[in-house]
Structure 1
Amino acid sequence: MDDSPNRLPPLLAALRAAARAAGFIMSSEDRTGSLLATLAASRPGGRILELGTGFGEGTAWLLSGMDRAADLITVELDPAVQGVGRQLLGADPRVSFVSGDGGAWLEEYDGGPFDLVFADTWPGKFTHLERALELVAPGGIYLIDDLLPQPGRPKDHEASVHDLLAGLDRREDFRCVRLAWSSGLLMAVRTL
């Protein structure tokens, strides 16, 4: 069986070319993107949060799966990096771009919970984890990637991943599944 995605978001090629030209190597892999689109499609009218916009490839995948009533907030520390995604995807009324520190945004956010949280950066995954998990609605999904060894990660990254996964597996309020697939994923569903 070929697990390559059969449908790509319309602007993915342009986003990918911009990322490549800038030397940005941390965009979501296509299989992860396809999963994001599928999870977004499972949440009609859903509220979705992406931590770590990057150049907007993950954002494009999420938008491609969302219905017209769904909303997406995407947060990125580097406004120049996020600017490409904002320029190419910003006309879509379903997406709101936030430029700023994801940890600070998580601390300050006072709105409702999200049906899907994709933490594709340190805040919401290795920092501010509890706050990110608090924002997952009952029955909602929390997804993280880049759990397998990746180029450019700090030497202690594998130990941090091990501790993160062990902590998530011990939680009573989430049911987790690890996927040794793509860049290494963990998907958790809030059960309480």
Structure 2
Amino acid sequence: MSLVDAAYARAAANGFGQSCEPEVGRLLAALAAALPPGARVLEIGTGAGAGTAWIAEGLRPRTDVTVDSIEADPAVAAVAATGDWPPFVRLHVADALEFLATAPGGYDLVFADAFGGKIEGLDRTVAKLHPRGTLVVDDMTPVEGWPEDFRAKQDGVRRALLADPQLVTVELAHGSGMIVGVRRPPAG
């Protein structure tokens, strides 16, 4: 069974219904496959590990990369930890904003899929991107049933990303709706 199939099976077996959609996952795998040697990847919001699995599958058979995946909920993180992860994947049980404040260095690919780091602290997430690093944010298309305050917060994230002068962005009506941004290199 592939890492991806195993992650979706773990999610289903544990009643975790918030895994990234396959369309988002395929994009993550493609972006991961294009990363330079020694790249660093950050996923904010491990969940049951579906996004992590897509990223790892895109990186295989490489071993020169590091994938840090953060989950704030210890019970959910325990579900992801049962996966058979390649050695380059490191799962962390941590508050995203604390991790962003203390993690050394930056990242070449960031998948922001949790409240912390996306709704709250988006500026910290963008700051962790290396120049020419790629940020993927999903769930940008409103869904019927979202509470109005959450819908307003998601729209605020959408507007902030599309207007951020540090990023070159594109909005994709794919999967749950995504914004992909690349951090501009310094002038000069």
- Asked if the contact 2:4–2:57 (Cα under 8 Å) also holds between the matched residues in 1, the reply is no
1:64 partner amino acid: E
Q: 2:184 aligns with which of 166, 174, 191?
A: 191
1:29 partner amino acid: E
Q: Distance in 2 between matches of 1:153 and 1:55?
A: 22
Partner of 1:94: 88
Q: Distance in 2 between matches of 1:163 and 1:75?
A: 23
TM-score by length of 2: 0.90
Q: 2:4 aligns with which of 12, 19, 23?
A: 12
1:32 to 2:24 alignment: yes
Give me the identity figure in percent: 37
Map 1:156-167 onto structure 2 (within 5 A).
156-167=149-160
Map 1:69-80 onto structure 2 (within 5 A).
69-80=64-75
Runs (4 or more) in structure 1 with deviation over 3 Å come to 150-154
Change in Cα spacing, 1:95 to 1:30, as seen in structure 2 (3 Å) is: same
Change in Cα spacing, 1:102 to 1:152, as seen in structure 2 (3 Å) is: farther
Change in Cα spacing, 1:80 to 1:152, as seen in structure 2 (3 Å) is: farther
Shifted more, 117-126 versus 100-109: the winner is 100-109
Partner of 1:41: 33
Q: Distance in 1 between matches of 2:110 and 2:145?
A: 24
Change in Cα spacing, 1:152 to 1:107, as seen in structure 2 (3 Å) is: farther
Change in Cα spacing, 1:153 to 1:20, as seen in structure 2 (3 Å) is: farther
Q: CA deviation at 1:96?
A: 0.8
Report which structure shows greater RCO (CA 8 Å, sep ≥6): 2
Consecutive unaligned residues of structure 1, counting only runs of 5 or more, are 1-8
Deviations 1:76-127 (A, max 9, x none): 011221223222134x110111102112211222x11100010011111111
Map 1:1-192 onto structure 2 (within 5 A).
10-45=2-37, 46-66=39-59, 67-90=62-85, 92-109=86-103, 111-150=104-143, 153-192=146-185
Q: Aligned-pair RMSD on alpha carbons?
A: 1.6
TM-score by length of 1: 0.88
Q: Distance in 1 between matches of 2:10 and 2:140?
A: 25
Q: CA deviation at 1:152?
A: 6.7
Change in Cα spacing, 1:122 to 1:174, as seen in structure 2 (3 Å) is: same
- Asked if the contact 1:47–1:115 (Cα under 8 Å) also holds between the matched residues in 2, the reply is yes
Q: CA deviation at 1:13?
A: 2.3
